[in-house]
Structure 1
């Protein structure tokens, strides 16, 4: 993964706005485009999957499973939203803008491409808190409790002449006979359809007089429940990073901003820059033939990057 550190801050009593732009140059098929923001790291080079974070936000896709992740860390656990947010990172070559707003009233708003896709409560839409009530473990189902609303009539008897068998032995073929050639196998009498068949007898059902319905243990107050009006608050934000797994490369992230002022995020959106040209790592020394080949390759890649940059401006014209 890649990450960047900054001076630590807390979002206590303030809004937290996290905004960034993502672009897939190829159909990733399986991979993520989400970011993580969390407490200050002592060693940024160690950033990766085990690194603790406060919030994870952004698109994720693998096959037919698609969603926009929004995970909050609370008391050492990373908690997913109860229901998935819509996946909007469709169409390779098209950039998408993601904005997350976390408010001091414990509400959250998510926008993708400047359209609201979710607004709701941390308490209601994430299982961050223990439930207020639980089933009483001491409450047991009575032995005479009747769940079923219907019962078979005990007075309903099977008629003596009732026929259930669908097939009967053909009495005309009772004597064993030889099939085909002389010396062939002996077979028993043939079977034929039963003319008076009535099928399996079903006893008449009627309402159960003692029915009490579905039994459920009574609810009691959960002794482990503790309310928290500061679910939104984190004492320390000190890094932002992308820790991803993808089967294809070419994903671009840019225009990342973390702020407590929506107007600043809006201004950054309007006055921001198109996707910047990515730096390529230095190549080791090569012989002249390989250098010439590398220069030709570089020129081809430069043309591709320039096209991408121009395309980003065109596609993002309404976003900046």
Structure 2
């Protein structure tokens, strides 16, 4: 497939002029539209009467969903290239925007090439929002039908980003005879957009042979054929053959790969299912010197009662226990070790053999698809009468310029070479100069920049909305094609799964705290501390002694010691 002729000169120009100091006050010179075919549409927004062509939509669905975003035609405020070079700018943050322009000539792509190209400059960056363009059906907008998300279109193309979801949309709307309605056909694996604060050129080409290209800054980043299997979802053409839904598996069909061995129908007589898996080792003998009647622990006769011990407060003092010095080999009950039982066989199960009558997995017969049809999606089903941006974005000041729609790849490349490349070089140089000076590019840019600061609550709500929206999109894709989604986007699965597990744990913890707070506790009497320890407590004290020896903490550093220390400090 032919590679864009704009990509080569762009690369050469960058390397040859990257070190030059370019004058940022160069006056803008409009592109000569006489170089284009009469039916081609090209917009540079260099006319003051732009609002006569571009109509802002104020469509409103309900009190919560309305297109209230503002649009403006103005110069760039970030790394501007030419003086008086204006573009269409999305102005309102976190709002729905819609604007459309009626084409001077209806665009008919029957047996022809479609070339759509425009520049996008996300001057405030783009964290969550769209910058795509729609080719709207002729006659779809009038005084009674303002442009909105329900306005029918033929093609949608352009970047869209929200969190980790980043793609260049390429959607074609077609009437699907199989479901008998118009549906959207999405490019299955779209390329990612460019993250940059300078201008980016996006180009879509659809040729009569069904080949398509997506270019970024003149370089082909995606190409293929509209009819190629696996390229669009759903596909434009249904399969020629399908499995017969009326075909039924015969009752005599044997699809058992293995069957029970008829030669071994019954359990053998010598099969003992009662034998345990482990048995005591008959060869294991009690070690010499093992004292069965001696206790493992004895009272430490050398232990002294602490001076701070108060029998009335702390109960009767009992000397701690220590390991019995006579138990060097061992004391107490002795038991032999366990070994695997050589007679163990477990539950008897009739063995299996390969089925000699196996016929394989049954599959319905293949028949011709009664709903099969040929399609030629490069021929748009409807004529295009309008271009439109119908967008929502967190960030504002998204700058659109040099919009082209025509039938000529050469015209698109000519426009890119004469408008985009000079602008791109100037903007790159502007960034370099700004970095060298370590201050904003110019005072005028700083003054003109409308840096809108959103309230912190709005920002938090927006970030949460973005996260939830991404989660819902990922869940939808996971339901549609789980293995494909998990294999291509495993990090998101780990992230959302981890967050879900953490939230579940948090909810359970909060619920546990609430239950503990609601359920009353039994009061503890002070008199319970003034008592003589029971036998069970002596055993517990002995266990504490063993633990104390391991940790190095002094024996008898008990509550009495801590109480005396507290009294001394007070």
Deviation at 1:252, TM superposition (A): 2.2
- Three-state SS of the structure 2 residue aligned to 1:268 is helix
The counterpart of 1:107, out of the listed 208, 211, 220, is 211
Q: Offset at 1:20?
A: 1.2
Partner of 1:316: none
| 1:122–1:232 Cα contact (<8 Å) kept | no
Specify every segment of 5 or more residues in structure 1 that has no aligned partner in the other structure, as ranges: 169-191, 276-297, 306-320
Partner of 2:241: 133
Aligned to 2:353: 206
Tell me whether 1:14 sits opposite 2:112 in the alignment.
Answer: yes
Q: Residue 96 of structure 1 aligns with which residue?
A: 200
Aligned counterpart, 2:191: 86
How far off its partner does 1:213 sit?
2.2
Q: Indicate conservation of the 8 Å contact 1:166/1:193, yes or no.
A: no
Question: For residue 302 of structure 1, what is the aligned residue in structure 2?
Answer: 448
1:164, 1:200 within 8 Å by CA — same for their partners in 2?
no
In structure 2, relative to structure 1, the CA distance for the partners of 1:148 and 1:60 (3 Å cut) is farther
Query: How much does 1:265 deviate?
Result: 0.9
- For residues 162 and 115 of structure 1, do their structure 2 counterparts lie closer, same or farther at Cα, with a shift above 3 Å needed? farther
Query: Deviation of residue 55 (structure 1)?
Result: 0.3
User: TM-score, normalized by length of structure 1?
Assistant: 0.70
Q: Does 1:47 align with 2:158?
A: no
Aligned pair 1:70/2:170, yes or no?
yes
Residue 141 and residue 6 in structure 1: after superposition, are their counterparts in 2 closer, same or farther (change >3 A)? same
Secondary structure, aligned partner of 1:54: strand
8 Å contact from structure 2 (residues 110, 378) kept in 1: no
Larger radius of gyration: 2
Q: Is 1:269 matched with 2:374?
A: no
Could you tell me which runs of 5 or more consecutive residues in structure 2 were left unpaired when the two chains were aligned: 1-97, 176-181, 280-336, 425-443, 452-570
How many residues align? The count is 261
Q: Is the 8 A contact 1:68 1:84 kept in 2?
A: no
Displacement of 1:118 in angstroms is: 2.5
Q: Which residue does 1:218 correspond to in 2?
A: 365
Q: Say which of 96, 99, 103 aligns to 1:2.
A: 99
Query: RMSD across aligned C-alpha pairs, in angstroms?
Result: 3.3
Work out whether 1:23 is the aligned partner of 2:121: yes
1:69–1:84 contact (8 Å) kept in structure 2 = no
Q: Which has the higher helix share?
A: 2
Q: What SS does the aligned partner of 2:415 have?
A: helix
User: Does the 8 Å contact 2:255/2:359 carry over to 1?
Assistant: yes
CA distance in 1, matches of 2:275, 2:198: 68
How do 1:169-248 residues align onto structure 2 when only pairs under 5 Å count? 195-196=340-341, 197=344, 204-229=351-376, 231-248=378-395
Structure 1 residue 31 displacement after superposition: 2.6
Select 1:34's aligned residue among 112, 118, 132.
Answer: 132
Q: How far off its partner does 1:201 sit?
A: 5.6
SS at match of 1:240: strand
Change (3 A) 1:24 1:223: same
Whether 1:255 and 2:402 are equivalent positions in the alignment is: yes
Kindly indicate whether the alpha-carbon contact (under 8 Å) linking 2:136 and 2:386 is maintained by their aligned counterparts in 1.
Answer: yes
Report how far residue 230 of structure 1 moved: 5.9
* CA deviation after TM superposition for structure 1 residue 262, in Å: 1.4
User: In structure 1, how many angstroms separate the alpha carbons of the residues matched to 2:227 and 2:348?
Assistant: 55
Structure with the higher strand share, 1 or 2: 1
* Partner secondary structure for residue 271 of structure 1: helix
Q: 2-side partners of 1:69 and 1:164: how far apart?
A: 68
Q: Describe the shift of the 1:209–1:17 C-alpha distance in structure 2 as closer, same or farther (beyond 3 A).
A: same
How many angstroms does 1:70 deviate by?
Answer: 1.0
1:118 paired to 2:222: yes
In the TM superposition, what is the alpha-carbon distance from 1:108 to its structure 2 partner? 1.6
* Contact 1:165 1:194 survives alignment (8 Å): no
Whole-Å separation in 1 of the counterparts to 2:221 and 2:407: 20
Structure-2 separation of matches of 1:164 and 1:271 = 90
* Aligned match of 1:308: none
SS at match of 1:263: helix
Aligned equivalents of 1:152, 1:19: Cα separation in 2? 68
TM-score computed with the length of structure 2 as normaliser: 0.41
Q: Residues 123 and 198 (structure 1 numbering): CA distance in 2 closer, same or farther, change over 3 Å?
A: same
Aligned to 1:291: none
Output the CA distance in 1 between the equivalents of 2:357 and 2:370.
35
Residues 78-131 of structure 1: per-residue CA shift (max 9 Å, x gap): 2112x2211133x24143221111111222222222222222222223312332
Q: Which has the higher contact order (CA 8 A, sep 6+)?
A: 1
Task: Work out whether residues 111 and 379 of structure 2, in 8 Å CA contact, stay in contact via their aligned partners in 1.
Answer: no
